[in-house]
Amino acid sequence: MFCYQCEQTYRSDEAAGCAGAKGMCGKDATTADLQDILLYVCEGVGQYLHHARQLGATDIDADRFILFAFFTTLTNVNFNAAKFVELIQEASQIRERAKALYEDAARAAGATPENLSGPAAFAPADNMAGLLTQASEAAVRKDAAILGEDAVGARALILYGLKGVCAYAHHARVLGEERDAIYATVEHALDMLAREERDVATLLDEALALGRANFLAMEALDAANTGTFGAPTPTSVRVTPIKGKAILVSGHDLKDLHAILEATKDKGINVYTHGEMLPAHSYPKLKAYPHLAGNYGGAWQEQQKEFAEFPGPIVMTSNCLIEPQPRYRGRIFTAGPVGWAGVRHIADENFAIVAQAAQALPGFPEDAPEQTITIGFGRDAVLGVADKVIDAVKSGAIRHFFLVGGCDGAAPGRNYYSDFADEAPKDTVILTLGCGKYRFNKHDFGTIDGLPRLLDMGQCNDAYSALVVATKLAEAFGVGVNELPLSLIVSWFEQKAAAVLLTLLALGVRNVRIGPTLPAFLTPALVAVLVEKFGVQPIGDAKSDIAASLARAA
Amino acid sequence: MYKVSLLTRDGATIAFDADPSDTLLDAAERANIYLPSSCREGGCGACRVSRASGDVVLMSYSSVALSEDERMAGDILLCRAQARSDLALRAPFDEAAVGFAPVPERRATLVALEPAGSGAVRLQLQYEDDPTFGRAAQFTAGQFIELTLPDGSAKRSYSLANAPNWDGTLELFIRLQPHGAFSDYLRDRAAIGDTLHVRGPQGQFTLDESSAAPRWFVVGGTGLAPALSMLRQMGEFADQRPCRLFFGVNKVDELFALDVIEKLKAALPQLVVTLCVWKPEQEWREFTGTPVEALAQALSSATERPDIYACGPPALIAAAEEAGRAAGVPHDRIFSEKFTAA
């Protein structure tokens, strides 16, 4: 295996990347190799779809499959090798269909179909043993000697950015929101990867195109979430358990959460959110369920301890899953793209068995002392008080905004983000999103003129909400987003964060601070481009970074 | 106190201190580390590990649990070994097999007891609701439980035959021994509604989920139970890998659970079952011989090396390991659980 897609990838002085029997995330070499092959076959699907689209022919089911297939390969999503053997066979069949689509379209247009090569012509074996012998043909760093390190790094940026786009677009799609422009961009990028494009400038342009597609994906997801469940409103959420039977729902998929709430209605079962599911409490149609009882635990990397102590079933609807420990392996369920060999998977959105498990398990024996936090400051909620915010900025009551958001992780350097939030001066407002907030979201930040100083905007994809707010505020002040008294302090871990970063760059947002480390797949030359062209900065020391941000704004 | 460091098969290091008057198993438990074990008196071999360095003394044990060759190679039984120096041990199990909480102790009610072929019975127990565990029957397919008779007079370990479930049901197949304390109870005194004390689940004879190889189960008599549990679990998960079951008994009338096997074939259409009777005393159309003989025949024409799961008396395990070796199945792809009559 070779994988360096996430922030916690193995790093030494000589090289970076997980290349042993198991990655740092727990993904074994077999699964990693099969994931590479699946993505490679998907590149082949993309080649045909891209060519067909030039001739006016499309296959939306094939596009949908690509979203799902890519989503399964994100960090901490699917670790089940057998599932990838199935997906590769399915991808191969879909590629045949895409091929026929293209060739028919070409002939109909009176042209001779081109013979596409590379992934389009790759013949995957029909069994695991055979596939594993083919892994080197699909490896991320194959042909590094020919392409050059910078091109390999830029291609990795595209591949991982694509994963983020696909994950968000998949979430939006399951709630009925799709954008043809996203599919066109995904196909274009897959075709470019398949062609072994090696011009770094061309590749970086493609990465920015993906950033724009990701903005569309986040917009679609925002439309899907708010369209289905209403616009988030500020909501007080209990973060301590209540006596009684309990289910814990983790991941990002609000549709699955809704199905679980329906399956447990009037059964005396309390449903708790975990990790990135926290924002669910702020959606009117979800919080209308009285048994959506509260939020339990912290960010994903604490799950092995927290899940072991949770007295009911646990459902993982998307990342981040880490190896289920024996103490809870029998009562954790996966859904959607998630999987772990030997863990029960719910493929049909029928969560009756989870309700049954909750009733068979002990639940919480007693109420814990009540403690709450306030969330739900999405774009509507913030823009609803825009006048107040603008006045506070004009009067000097609010000196600066910090968006401290993104993923959490286990790396020690991540205390930077809690230090940053805690040290930010009292006349600054902290916007947050993603699961990185668990490092500080139970701290008391107080208020400014009645406005809370900490505004939780939602999941990582609600970066869209933050961008809408920033754009509106910039309009109100008659300046560009980069001229706002706003600094972005981003923590990244997996590929959705990579896609969000591409979106920020594509929209021209400058001076983003990123950490705890820079992606291992970016070469020094690529980092130099990000620094020079986009003003991206690695994080430093929280106090000095705060001072520097305030000095820039002053 | 000596320092003990145990390296698991998947590379995790588990460290604890050991007083020289404690067995290593007890020393680990003092540190809230519950290592795989079963009889805890040197009889079963469930706690066998190999010693990379250091000295121990071994209290008395059965050669079934630890052969002379194994002992010479450095293997020890955690339940019989006391440290005499710092120790470095290597375990044949993954970190996931190690418990960091005590083995659950619960109560269950006998809800069904019926013959299962000649000389064996099928038992069904229902867990009572419990403040710590609820009523769920949570275990890993292939594990066993230890039952204590209502009067506390005897304890025996038996593999579960059903898959984990939320109803709290435990199903067991038990061979009746001529003068066994538990067998006597089942034969003479057991009544529906009896309450039994259950300690479990325990055991590491479970599916290796990290492997993608076909799974072949070779079992003798009530050694069928853990294989049924694992196959039922695979059926519930719609596992699509090739799998085979070689189920052997001595005489035709000893066959049991054939209805369960038929249902399994429906849930796992790829499952190939070979029923083996060693000495059929009546007309017998399927395999005549031991399940290991059937296994050896099938291995000779296998296109893909399977993982072998063997359960039954020690002789069956030894023969299955030999057949696997002869066919080139690596030693660490053969998983086994010995049944010893008590």
pLDDT tens digits for range B97-139? 787 788 899 999 999 999 999 999 999 999 999 999 999 999 9
| Token reading at A157 | 């940026």
Residue B208, domain member (yes or no): no
Task: Calculate Rg over the CA atoms of chain B.
Answer: 20
Which residue of B98, B138, B241 is in closest CB contact with A82? B241
Mutate to test the interface with B, among A30, A340, A361 (most CBs of B within 10 A): A361
Using a CB-CB distance cutoff of 8 angstroms, which residues of chain A are in contact with residue B98?
Answer: 326
Residue B340 has pLDDT above 70, yes or no: no
pLDDT tens digits for B51-95? Answer: 999 999 999 998 888 988 889 999 999 999 999 999 999 998 888
Q: Is A466 on the interface with B (CB under 8 A)?
A: no
Chain length of chain B: 342
For residues A431 and A466, the answer to whether their CB atoms sit within 8 Å is: yes
Residue B207, domain member (yes or no): no
Provide the CA A365 distance to its chain's centre, in angstroms. Answer: 35
| Token reading at A204 | 């970086």
Residue A554 has pLDDT above 60, yes or no: no
pLDDT of residue A273: 98
Using a CB-CB distance cutoff of 8 angstroms, which residues of chain A are in contact with residue B240?
Answer: 82, 86
Of B37 and A294, which is predicted with more confidence? A294
Domain ranges of chain A: 29-228, 235-360, 377-553
Q: Is A53 on the interface with B (CB under 8 A)?
A: no
- CB–CB of B140 and A353 under 8 A? no
Q: Does one domain contain both B229 and B333?
A: yes
Of A6-20, A93-107, B80-94, least confident by mean pLDDT is A6-20
DSSP class of residue A273 equals E
Residue B264, domain member (yes or no): yes
Q: What is the mean pLDDT of chain A?
A: 95
Q: Is A254 on the interface with B (CB under 8 A)?
A: no
- CB–CB of B134 and A28 under 8 A? no
Using a CB-CB distance cutoff of 8 angstroms, which residues of chain B are in contact with residue A360?
Answer: 134-136, 166-168
Distances from the Cα of B161 to the Cα of A226, A286, B214, B259, angstroms: 48, 41, 21, 13
Residue B262, domain member (yes or no): yes
- Rounded to an integer, the average pLDDT of A438-444 is 95
Residue A272 has pLDDT above 60, yes or no: yes
pLDDT of residue B37: 84
CATH of the domain at B162: 2.40.30.10
CATH of the domain at B234: 3.40.50.80
Would you call A163 helix, strand, or coil by DSSP? helix
Distances from the Cα of A269 to the Cα of A55, A290, A291, A353, A359, angstroms: 54, 10, 7, 13, 7
Q: Does one domain contain both B196 and B279?
A: no
Residue B18's φ and ψ, nearest 5 degrees, are: -130, 125
- CB–CB of B140 and A28 under 8 A? no
pLDDT of residue A390: 93
Binned at pLDDT 50, 70 and 90, residue B209 comes out as confident
| Token reading at A297 | 């635990």
Distances from the Cα of B3 to the Cα of A297, B54, B92, angstroms: 35, 10, 20
The vertex-A530 CA angle with A524 and A536, nearest 5°, equals 115
For residues B265 and B232, the answer to whether their CB atoms sit within 8 Å is: no
- CB–CB of A82 and B212 under 8 A? yes
pLDDT tens digits for B239-274? Answer: 989 999 999 999 999 999 999 999 999 999 999 999
3-class DSSP string for chain B: CEEEEEECCCCCEEEEEECCCCCHHHHHHHCCCECCCCCCCCCCCCCEEEEEECCEEECCCCCCCCCHHHHHCCEEECCCEEECCCEEEECCCCHHHCECCCCCEEEEEEEEEEECCCCEEEEEEEECCECCCECCECCCCCCEEEEECCCCCCEEEEECCCCCECCCEEEEEEECCCCCHHHHHHHHHCCCCCEEEEEEEECCCCCCCCCCCCEEEEEEHHHHHHHHHHHHHHHHCCCCCCEEEEEEECCHHHCCCHHHHHHHHHHCCCEEEEEEECCCCCCCCCEECCHHHHHHHHHHCCCCCCEEEEEECHHHHHHHHHHHHHCCCCHHHEEEEECCCC
Q: Nearest residue on chain B to A81, judged by CA atoms?
A: B212
Q: Does one domain contain both B231 and B332?
A: yes
Q: Does one domain contain both B131 and B88?
A: no
Residue with tokens 């085979």: B244
- Rounded to an integer, the average pLDDT of A398-424 is 93
- CATH of A377-553 given 3.40.50.720, 3.30.720.120, 3.40.50.2030, 3.30.200.20: 3.40.50.2030
- Rounded to an integer, the average pLDDT of B37-64 is 88
Q: Does one domain contain both B69 and B144?
A: no
pLDDT > 90: percent of chain A: 94
- The architecture of the domain spanning A235-360 is 3-Layer(aba) Sandwich (3.40)
Q: In angstroms, rounded to a whole number, what is the distance separating the alpha carbons of residues B87 and B52?
A: 8
pLDDT tens digits for A31-44? Answer: 999 999 999 999 99
Determine how many CB atoms are found less than 10 A away from the CB of residue B272: 13
Q: Is the dihedral of CA B296, B298, B299, B300 positive or negative?
A: positive
For residues B197 and B148, the answer to whether their CB atoms sit within 8 Å is: yes
Q: Is A126 on the interface with B (CB under 8 A)?
A: no
Using a CB-CB distance cutoff of 8 angstroms, which residues of chain B are in contact with residue A86?
Answer: 240
Q: Does one domain contain both B242 and B309?
A: yes
Q: Which of B76, B97, B118 is the last residue of a domain?
A: B97
Q: Which residues on chain B place their C-beta less than 8 Å from a C-beta of chain A?
A: 96-101, 130-136, 138-140, 164, 166-168, 207, 209-210, 212, 236-237, 239-241, 304
Return the amino acid letter for B141.
A
- Rounded to an integer, the average pLDDT of A6-24 is 89
Q: Which residues pair with B18 in a beta bridge?
A: B2
- CB–CB of A82 and B240 under 8 A? yes
- Count how many Cα atoms sit within 13 Å of the Cα of residue A207 in the half-sphere of its side chain: 30
Chains A, B: CB contacts within 8 A come to 60
Using a CB-CB distance cutoff of 8 angstroms, which residues of chain A are in contact with residue B102?
Answer: none
Residue B209, domain member (yes or no): no
Q: Does one domain contain both B332 and B254?
A: yes
Of A10-24, A220-234, B277-291, least confident by mean pLDDT is A10-24
Q: In angstroms, rounded to a whole number, what is the distance separating the alpha carbons of residues A485 and A553?
A: 6
Q: Nearest residue on chain A to B207, judged by CA atoms?
A: A342
Q: Does one domain contain both B121 and B227?
A: no
Using a CB-CB distance cutoff of 8 angstroms, which residues of chain B are in contact with residue A342?
Answer: 207, 209, 237
pLDDT tens digits for A313-354? Answer: 999 999 999 989 888 999 999 999 999 999 999 999 999 999
Residue B144, domain member (yes or no): yes
Residue A469 has pLDDT above 90, yes or no: yes
Angstroms from B149 CA to nearest CA on chain A? 25
| Residue B85 belongs to domain spanning | 2-97
Q: Does one domain contain both B269 and B184?
A: no
Q: Nearest residue on chain B to A80, judged by CA atoms?
A: B210
Determine how many CB atoms are found less than 10 A away from the CB of residue B93: 18
CATH of the domain at B47: 3.10.20.30
Residue B263's φ and ψ, nearest 5 degrees, are: -65, -35
The vertex-B291 CA angle with B285 and B294, nearest 5°, equals 70
Q: Which residues pair with A272 in a beta bridge?
A: A248, A294
- CB–CB of B136 and A353 under 8 A? no
Residue B210, domain member (yes or no): no
Q: Does one domain contain both B24 and B124?
A: no
| Token reading at A286 | 């979800």
- Rounded to an integer, the average pLDDT of A171-180 is 98
Q: Is A108 on the interface with B (CB under 8 A)?
A: no
Using a CB-CB distance cutoff of 8 angstroms, which residues of chain B are in contact with residue A311?
Answer: 134
DSSP class of residue A156 equals H
- CB–CB of A359 and B96 under 8 A? no
**Would you say domain A29-228 falls under CATH 1.10.10.10?**
no
pLDDT of residue B342: 46
- Identify the CA nearest to A188 among candidates A198, A203, A176: A203
Which residue of A85, A323, A327 is in closest CB contact with B101? A327
Interface of A with B in 302-341 (CB under 8 A): 311, 323, 325-327, 329-331, 341
pLDDT of residue B341: 56
Using a CB-CB distance cutoff of 8 angstroms, which residues of chain B are in contact with residue A353?
Answer: 166
Q: Which of B34, B65, B97 is the last residue of a domain?
A: B97
Q: Is A15 on the interface with B (CB under 8 A)?
A: no
Mutate to test the interface with A, among B127, B166, B202 (most CBs of A within 10 A): B166
- Count how many Cα atoms sit within 13 Å of the Cα of residue A488 in the half-sphere of its side chain: 27
Q: Does one domain contain both B87 and B15?
A: yes
Distances from the Cα of A141 to the Cα of A144, A153, A188, A201, A356, angstroms: 5, 9, 21, 19, 46
Residue A236 has pLDDT above 80, yes or no: yes
Using a CB-CB distance cutoff of 8 angstroms, which residues of chain B are in contact with residue A129?
Answer: 304
Indicate the number of domains in chain B: 3
- CB–CB of B99 and A326 under 8 A? yes
Asked if the domains at A235-360 and A377-553 fall in one CATH topology, the answer is yes
Binned at pLDDT 50, 70 and 90, residue A213 comes out as very high
- CB–CB of B239 and A82 under 8 A? yes
Sequence-distant (≥ 6) Cβ neighbours of residue A368 within 8 angstroms: A240, A241, A242
pTM for the model stands at 0.90
Residue B96 has pLDDT above 80, yes or no: no
Residue B315 has pLDDT above 80, yes or no: yes
Q: Does one domain contain both B222 and B187?
A: no
Q: Which of B62, B97, B132 is the last residue of a domain?
A: B97
Residue B153, domain member (yes or no): yes
Angstroms from B122 CA to nearest CA on chain A? 24
Q: Which helix (H) or strand (E) holds A236?
A: strand A235-238
Mutate to test the interface with A, among B9, B138, B232, B240 (most CBs of A within 10 A): B138
Q: Nearest residue on chain B to A324, judged by CA atoms?
A: B96
- CB–CB of A360 and B167 under 8 A? yes
The vertex-A290 CA angle with A284 and A294, nearest 5°, equals 85
Return the amino acid letter for A119.
P
